[in-house]
């Protein structure tokens, strides 16, 4: 009764918040299908005849395919790199924790607390000196490092959910660390690894700051595609919206396919 | 063949001595139970035998060979974990065959051995299931099956029944005893439950605070406990303890003063050495609930506090005149009720006497 | 033996990764204490006489204090707003879950999967039309919405760790939902709430994308302070490094004070 | 005063009928135990009485007033949870006084009541501690203390001892019975453990699959189980069941065929109605382990499979000729050993007979 009333209020708050967060996306998609005149009409038009002209204009201007290709390659490679480094690191921290394991985890996570803008200068200089500016390699490295703490932390959490008894049973069964990793940890933490990888792919795809600052025409991702979008003349809101939709669409589709699996991995844990 | 010898085996974790210089020999094909309260070191001792914990001091010999540095899978022992520790992503058959597969045994041979173990444990219809689709008792069986398949010379059980409900526990402990008879291998079983220890063991090792209190057969521990700890730990309901003072020690009996103005005559075995019980010594008289009975006229008396009817027997918890609680076991037809004032008598020739340090002076046993 | 060797390797990987992530920060701090000539010297100088001139130059150029003040206000207010909304939402989702609770959580988290650049257009238009561009209010709202999914998820996780029995016992004791929130949930989830709030403050402080795009001179945060930094003439690496150090320093100090409590909250859970 | 009446009370969760139309009256000051296997609906029933679950159908009356819609805190009942559900961030004293404080009782009065409850439960030295610093038994006491402080007219216990070890469980159940005697209030206690039910209850309610199988005193359930379920659930080790066929029914006894060529003569009470047992009917003979004894010459025989020595008694598990397992309770001095071929006799005048539907036809009780 009282209990239910209180949580009804909470539920309403949650749905409202979700809607507010979702609203801009909705508006953007709607705007992309308007003409430039409709886009700036006040009050905003809710009923109109959708046109595709803005998409055509956005695609015509710049190499969408090229940017999309960069996005795919960078997000997949950086994720692979991050998982490859994180797997043994998380294994060591979860199953043979030393006195400094907690410190190490804290340190890794605390690098996430640095404003990226704060380390732009040294990173830029390093890549300039190594001739990696405007290459996919630079973005792969940066994105992998950015996501590494999260991936390590997630894998660590999933590994910690695996009962130690199971590894000890394998030990009694004559299975060494390699066998344990391959035959037990990998399959048991698979949902967790998948979640972590999906998250890393999405974060890397959406990463705009480093893409914009470290790349130019050659290695730019879809994030830079929008950022660099400029209309030759006149009104451009509808075209910009269309360009944004084009940049967002692949990861939105990918994300909506993957989200259940990802969120399940995030909220339920590995072996339950 | 698996004869285990522990010589002054000890284990220290960060300055905490979990196991203190344990000497123990376990004969081939014996069923030995380690029992004790939580924190007594019984699981640590088992894990040292398994090879999952390093031995800090002392030596472990398996069939005469020093095994301190032998890796767990080379000791020829299989372990059944409290949590079962099944591989959750493998079917029952793969769980049971995993060790052999890893050891490179040909597939057909693995399958045959798994099938043989499954037959013993009646797991055949479950071979294709995943652990999560099994009940607690079935998981337990799979864990045992996984151990059997390796054809070990010894089994180590770490509280394997503690996650099962009471009825299943009774059933599984019978099955384990039968399994021991069938396989004829050494088994070491860790539990905190003295009933499991009593019902399953050939020999029981009672551990307390990292050292061995007593080693013996179930009935030895029950009838001749070496000290107050064992006397209190083994048996349910607990043995009644009467702190008293030996007032006079005669040839055939002694007079014990339970409280001021409350003396009791208690028989003394003829074989007792003269110095073992001196007049004036502080002693503890230990009488199990079945060593006492409700009588019209007995040396003890009190008011019945609680009566428990178990069907086959009745337990009366009686508040004695001096405030102590006395437990008396009566038969199922006993008309005793809470609030009754009752008199308690001693069955002659039963009971134990312990000295001031808790060590047993003598036990009286039925002829 | 074998087991230990395997995890030694893992531990080394973890420490190496942590060092690589930490290295740019180290370089930046060192560079900030160099002269401009030393900063571009090749090979890089490791031994030099530290100078403070770059800091002086960076502070002289633009209103550091003003930007810092904006950063503090925006991160604190947006965090407060996010926690206030998230608390009842998480309460409802954790203790009176409906059929759609899982969907709601998925939806909230999936808004994190959108590239910010994709919704820049509509957000920009909304704030332009409401006259909130270049105000702290706009940044507070945006940062609160950005952090809301994470805060809701963290609070939800912490609440879920609180045994339902405790709330039922309170119910039997005649304590209603309000009393339960105040006397039980608030104190019990306090470490969790603190963790979530600290994380939100840090994320909000470090947020650069929206600050740069939605604010100008008036409401800019320290992230924009660096982004807008420009040297009047000649070499500027050392000065830029100094400006970055100045922008990062407050949150680094705050973060290092708070990190143990935060990571404990993140890894251990609420009521254990 | 707390007299509870349940009239056709039912509970449905998502089309699953957890509790099916339960009729039950619990008298004031009674100690009633709900017992049954997991999933039998006992906890759901308790939670409906507490007000933590809505009642789907039927009516609950507390002291004559319909209470279906009364909020939990207004029912005058206090609940002790299985997990104890202590407030982890409050001291013991604050845990116990929380309900009163929330109800606006003056601080001095709260303190006094907490102190009084703490005295009863010997919690006084622990009042300033946090729950996490207490042992399991102490937490259990605090949970009870928190209930006592509210001075309820009834206590509801949801498996309160299941997280304690065996020895502590024995001790706590005695304390709870004494508490019931001291407070003189109604107590409803849920457990899956038939030993707890037997030892504590004034009356036991045996539940199975959402309905009541039998209500009665512990000894009624033990000696006169209404059906096979109750007969098998109450008592450990389990009652032996012998599926058989009534071959001939005479005046004073009947002949039962246990297996082809294996007949047994079994006494029939004189008061039995003539139609209750017809020749040719399928029946089940139920004999508890203590209704049997090892004899030189008995109607049953087999080979001893496992022997459990419990000190005070010995249990022999015997594989009968037809493959069935028979449990026999013998005294502690019985020399029986595994592998022995033994003959089993029946104690005259004990045992039960059940019809094909599992309902009891008659029970034989000692005079």
Check CB contact of B79 with chain A, cutoff 8 Å.
yes
* pLDDT tens, N- to C-terminus, chain C (272 residues): 455 666 677 778 777 877 777 777 777 788 888 887 777 776 667 777 888 888 887 777 667 888 888 989 999 999 999 999 998 888 888 887 777 777 777 677 667 666 676 677 778 878 888 888 889 999 999 999 888 888 888 888 788 878 889 999 999 988 888 888 889 888 888 878 888 888 888 888 888 778 888 887 788 888 777 766 654 445 577 777 787 788 778 877 777 777 666 666 655 443 33
Check CB contact of C46 with chain A, cutoff 8 Å.
no
pLDDT of residue D93: 95
Check CB contact of C51 with chain A, cutoff 8 Å.
no
Contacts of C173 in chain D (CB under 8 A): 73, 98-99, 102, 146, 150
Q: For chain B, what is the mean pLDDT?
A: 92
Instruction: State the complex-level ipTM.
Output: 0.78
pLDDT of B256 strictly over 80: yes
pLDDT of B115 strictly over 60: yes
Which residue's structure tokens are 């604010």? C215
pLDDT of residue C144: 92
Tokens in use for D312?
Answer: 């005070």
Please state at what angle helix C53-61 crosses helix C237-268, rounded to 10 degrees. Answer: 90
Max Cα–Cα distance, chain D, nearest Å? 79
pLDDT of residue A3: 59
Read off the pTM. Answer: 0.83
* D131-164 burial: b if 16+ Cβ within 10 Å, else e: beebeebbbbbbbbbbbbbbebbbbbbbbbbeeb
pLDDT of residue D119: 92
Domain B240-364 adopts which CATH fold?
OB fold (Dihydrolipoamide Acetyltransferase, E2P) (2.40.50)
> Which positions in chain B have a beta carbon within 8 angstroms of at least one beta carbon in chain D?
38, 165-167, 170, 173-174, 177-178, 181, 192-195, 198-200, 218-219, 222-223, 234-238, 288-290, 305-306, 308-312, 315, 317, 329, 332-333, 338, 366
Mutate to test the interface with A, among B49, B52, B130, B151 (most CBs of A within 10 A): B52
pLDDT of residue A108: 73
Mutate to test the interface with C, among A16, A39, A115 (most CBs of C within 10 A): A115
pLDDT less than 50: residues of chain D? none
Contacts of B83 in chain A (CB under 8 A): 163, 165
Say whether A181 sits in a helix, a strand or coil: helix
What residues 253-272 of chain A have any CB closer than 8 A to a CB of chain B?
A: 271
pLDDT of residue B32: 97
pLDDT of residue A113: 64
Nearest CA in chain C to A18: C108
The residues facing B9 across adjacent strands are: B22
Tokens in use for C32?
Answer: 């900030």
Say whether C98 sits in a helix, a strand or coil: coil
Tokens in use for A59?
Answer: 């695609």
Cβ atoms within 10 A of the Cβ of B191, count?
Answer: 25
Say whether C118 sits in a helix, a strand or coil: helix
Contacts of A184 in chain B (CB under 8 A): 87
Q: What phi-psi label fits residue D308: left (phi over 0), alpha (psi between -120 and 50 degrees) or beta? A: beta
A188–B89 C-beta distance less than 8 A: yes
Domains in chain A: ranges and CATH: 63-228 (1.10.3720.10)
Q: What angle do CA B110, B116, B122 make, to 5 degrees?
A: 130
Mutate to test the interface with C, among A5, A11, A149 (most CBs of C within 10 A): A11
- Of A243 and D7, more confident: D7
Q: Which of D77, D82, D102 sits opposite C179 (nearest CB)?
A: D102
Give me the percent of chain A exceeding a pLDDT of 90: 8
Q: Is the dihedral of CA B295, B297, B300, B306 positive or negative?
A: positive
| CATH number of the structural domain B4-233 | 3.40.50.300
Concatenated DSSP letters of B71-132? -GGGTTEEEE-TT----TTS-HHHHHHHHHHHTT--HHHHHHHHHHHHHHTT-GGGTTS-GG
Q: What angle do CA A103, A109, A110 make, to 5 degrees?
A: 85
Cβ-proximal residues to C230 (8 Å cutoff; 6+ apart), any chain? C236
- Of C111 and A73, more confident: A73
How many Å apart are CA A191 and CA A185, to the nearest integer?
11
Q: How many residues are recorded in chain B?
A: 367
How many Å apart are CA D156 and CA D165, to the nearest integer?
21
Going from N- to C-terminal start, the domains of chain B cover: 4-233, 240-364
* Residue among C209, B333, B246, C145 nearest A20 (CA): C145
* Residue among A149, A141, A128 nearest A74 (CA): A141
CB pairs B-D closer than 8 Å = 100
Mean pLDDT of A129-151: 88
pLDDT of residue C260: 66
Mutate to test the interface with A, among B46, B79, B152 (most CBs of A within 10 A): B79
Distance from CA of A184 to the nearest CA of B (A): 7
pLDDT of residue C117: 67
Nearest CA in chain D to C170: D99
Tokens in use for A103?
Answer: 């410190």
How many Å apart are CA B226 and CA B222, to the nearest integer?
10
Cβ-proximal residues to C251 (8 Å cutoff; 6+ apart), any chain? A113, A114, A115, C202, C205, C206
Mean pLDDT of A160-169: 87
How many Å apart are CA A176 and CA C3, to the nearest integer?
7
* Residue among A157, A213, A216 nearest A189 (CA): A157
Contacts of C among chains (3+ CB pairs under 8 A): A, D
Contacts of C267 in chain A (CB under 8 A): 105, 153, 157
B235–D170 C-beta distance less than 8 A: no
Contact present, C90 and A9 (Cβ < 8 Å): no
Report the number of secondary-structure helices (H) and strands (E) in chain A.
14, 0
Contact present, C204 and C150 (Cβ < 8 Å): no
CB pairs A-C closer than 8 Å = 293
Distance from CA of B212 to the nearest CA of D (A): 20
Check CB contact of D83 with chain C, cutoff 8 Å.
yes
C184–D99 C-beta distance less than 8 A: no
Cβ atoms within 10 A of the Cβ of B325, count?
Answer: 15
Check CB contact of B271 with chain A, cutoff 8 Å.
no
What residues 91-150 of chain C have any CB closer than 8 A to a CB of chain A?
A: 91-93, 95-96, 98, 102, 104-111, 113-123, 125-126, 129, 145, 148-149
- Of B307 and C124, more confident: B307
CB pairs A-B closer than 8 Å = 57
Position B276 confidence tier, pLDDT thresholds 50, 70, 90: confident
Tokens in use for D346?
Answer: 């029946």
Distance from CA of C176 to the nearest CA of A (A): 7
C271–D88 C-beta distance less than 8 A: yes
Q: Is the dihedral of CA A152, A154, A158, A160 positive or negative?
A: positive
Contacts of A163 in chain B (CB under 8 A): 83, 85
Check CB contact of C27 with chain A, cutoff 8 Å.
yes
pLDDT of residue B210: 94
pLDDT of B98 strictly over 60: yes
Q: What angle do CA B100, B106, B107 make, to 5 degrees?
A: 85
Contact present, B10 and B57 (Cβ < 8 Å): yes
pLDDT of residue D155: 96
pLDDT of residue C194: 85
Position A191 confidence tier, pLDDT thresholds 50, 70, 90: confident
Distance from CA of D84 to the nearest CA of C (A): 8
Mean pLDDT of A93-101: 77
* Residue among B297, B173, B289, B293 nearest B231 (CA): B289
Contact present, B188 and B32 (Cβ < 8 Å): yes
Check CB contact of B70 with chain A, cutoff 8 Å.
no
Nearest CA in chain D to B291: D312
Mean pLDDT of B41-70: 95
* Residue among B229, B243, B271, B249 nearest B363 (CA): B271
Check CB contact of A85 with chain C, cutoff 8 Å.
yes
Check CB contact of D13 with chain C, cutoff 8 Å.
no
Check CB contact of B157 with chain A, cutoff 8 Å.
no
């Amino acid at each position: 009764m009282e209990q239910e009333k209180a949580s009804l209020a909470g539920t309403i708050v949650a749905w409202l918040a979700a809607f507010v967060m979702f609203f801009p996306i909705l508006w953007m998609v709607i705007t992309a299908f308007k003409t430039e005149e409709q886009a700036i009409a006040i009050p905003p038009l809710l009923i109109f005849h959708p046109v595709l002209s803005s998409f055509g204009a956005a695609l015509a201007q710049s190499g969408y395919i090229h940017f999309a290709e960069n996005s795919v390659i960078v997000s997949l490679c950086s994720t692979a790199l991050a998982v490859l480094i994180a797997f043994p690191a998380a294994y060591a921290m979860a199953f043979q924790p030393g006195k400094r394991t907690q410190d190490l985890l804290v340190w890794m996570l605390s690098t996430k607390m640095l404003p990226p803008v704060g380390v732009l200068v040294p990173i830029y200089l390093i890549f300039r000196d190594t001739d990696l500016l405007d290459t996919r390699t630079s973005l792969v490295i940066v994105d992998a490092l950015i996501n590494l703490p999260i991936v390590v932390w997630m894998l660590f959490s999933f590994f910690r959910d695996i009962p130690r008894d199971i590894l000890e049973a394998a030990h009694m069964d004559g299975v060494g660390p390699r066998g344990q990793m391959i035959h037990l940890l990998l399959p048991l933490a698979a949902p967790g690894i998948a979640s972590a990888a999906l998250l890393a792919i999405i974060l890397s795809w959406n990463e705009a700051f480093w893409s914009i600052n470290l790349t130019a025409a050659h290695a730019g991702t879809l994030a830079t595609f929008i950022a660099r979008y400029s209309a030759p003349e006149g009104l451009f809101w509808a075209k910009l919206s269309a360009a944004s939709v084009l940049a967002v669409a692949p990861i939105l589709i990918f994300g909506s396919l993957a989200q259940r699996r990802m969120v399940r991995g995030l909220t339920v844990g590995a072996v339950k | 063949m698996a004869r285990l010898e522990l010589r002054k085996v000890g284990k220290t974790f960060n300055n905490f001595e979990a196991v203190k210089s344990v000497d123990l020999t376990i004969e081939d094909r014996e069923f030995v139970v380690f029992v004790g309260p939580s924190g007594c070191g019984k699981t640590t001792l088992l894990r040292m035998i398994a090879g999952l914990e390093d031995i800090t001091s002392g030596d472990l010999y398996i069939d005469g060979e020093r095994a301190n540095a032998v890796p767990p899978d080379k000791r020829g022992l299989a372990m059944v974990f409290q949590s079962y520790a099944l591989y959750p992503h493998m079917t029952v058959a793969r769980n049971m065959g995993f060790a052999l597969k890893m050891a490179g045994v040909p597939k057909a041979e693995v399958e045959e051995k798994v099938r043989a173990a499954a037959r013993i444990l009646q797991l055949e219809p479950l071979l294709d299931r995943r652990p999560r689709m099994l009940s607690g008792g079935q998981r337990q069986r799979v864990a045992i099956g996984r151990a059997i398949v390796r054809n070990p010379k010894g089994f180590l059980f770490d509280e394997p029944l503690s996650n099962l409900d009471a009825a299943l526990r009774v059933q599984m402990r019978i099955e384990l005893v039968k399994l021991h008879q069938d396989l004829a291998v050494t088994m070491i079983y860790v539990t905190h439950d003295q009933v499991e220890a009593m019902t399953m063991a050939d020999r029981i090792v009672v551990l307390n605070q990292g050292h061995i209190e007593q080693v013996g057969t179930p009935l030895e521990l029950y009838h001749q406990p070496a000290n107050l700890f064992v006397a209190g730990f083994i048996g349910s309901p607990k043995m009644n303890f009467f702190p008293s003072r030996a007032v006079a020690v005669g040839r055939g009996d002694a007079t014990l003063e339970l409280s001021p103005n409350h003396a009791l005559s208690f028989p003394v075995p003829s074989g007792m050495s003269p110095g073992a019980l001196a007049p004036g010594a502080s002693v503890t008289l230990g009488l199990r609930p079945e060593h006492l009975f409700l009588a019209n006229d007995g040396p003890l008396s009190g008011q019945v506090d609680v009566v428990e009817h178990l069907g086959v027997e009745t337990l009366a918890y009686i508040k004695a005149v001096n405030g102590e609680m006395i437990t008396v076991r009566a038969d199922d037809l006993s008309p005793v009720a809470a609030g009754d004032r009752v008199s308690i008598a001693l069955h002659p020739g039963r009971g134990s006497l312990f000295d001031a340090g808790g060590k047993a002076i003598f036990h009286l046993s039925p002829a």
